Structure 1
């Protein structure tokens, strides 16, 4: 339970930014996935920079989360909208 004057730890650890694009369910889901991707890459980068993670391991982990993001984009159909016909 969060105390009245105590910040929510999850909001601090996993910050989310407001979405300003076209409000469609698939766009909102992809935006959440993209924000999660950036958060994970940031953690991996910090671990590698501090010597807690080998460069190759960091690369492999980032590559894995990139593949997940690409799969999400494809599954949601992001970027497949047809241009308006004249």
Structure 2
């Protein structure tokens, strides 16, 4: 039962959707990286909105994530 709870929590916190484009290894990797980028930006935005991060720090972290995403392309 704990495994079921772990999987439900994992799927809720880290949702991934299917890839509908042309299936190549590069496209699949970029799609996974893009979904991870979107998830992390959402977390950073929430932390900034709730006052846990300054706007400058949030922007710096998002810019770093963007550079990492561009490099994976």
TM-score of the pair, normalised by structure 2: 0.91
Question: 1:11: how far off?
Answer: 1.2
**C-alpha displacement of 1:25:** 0.6
1:3-59 CA-to-partner distances (Å, cap 9, x unmatched) read 3xx461211110000100000010000000000000000000000001110000000
Per the alignment, residue 2 of structure 1 pairs with: 3
User: Which entry has the higher C-alpha Rg, 1 or 2?
Assistant: 1
- The whole-number CA distance in structure 1 between the counterparts of 2:72 and 2:6 is 31
What is the rounded CA distance, in whole Å, between the counterparts of 2:22 and 2:72 in structure 1? Answer: 18
Partner of 2:16: 16
Show structure 1 runs of 5+ residues with no match.
Answer: 74-86
User: Which 5+ residue runs of structure 2 have no aligned equivalent?
Assistant: none
**Residue 65 (1) aligns with residue 65 (2):** yes
Aligned Cα RMSD in Å? 1.2
Matched, 1:52 2:52: yes
Using the alignment, how far apart are the partners of 1:33 and 1:43 within structure 2?
A: 15
Q: Which has the higher helix share?
A: 2
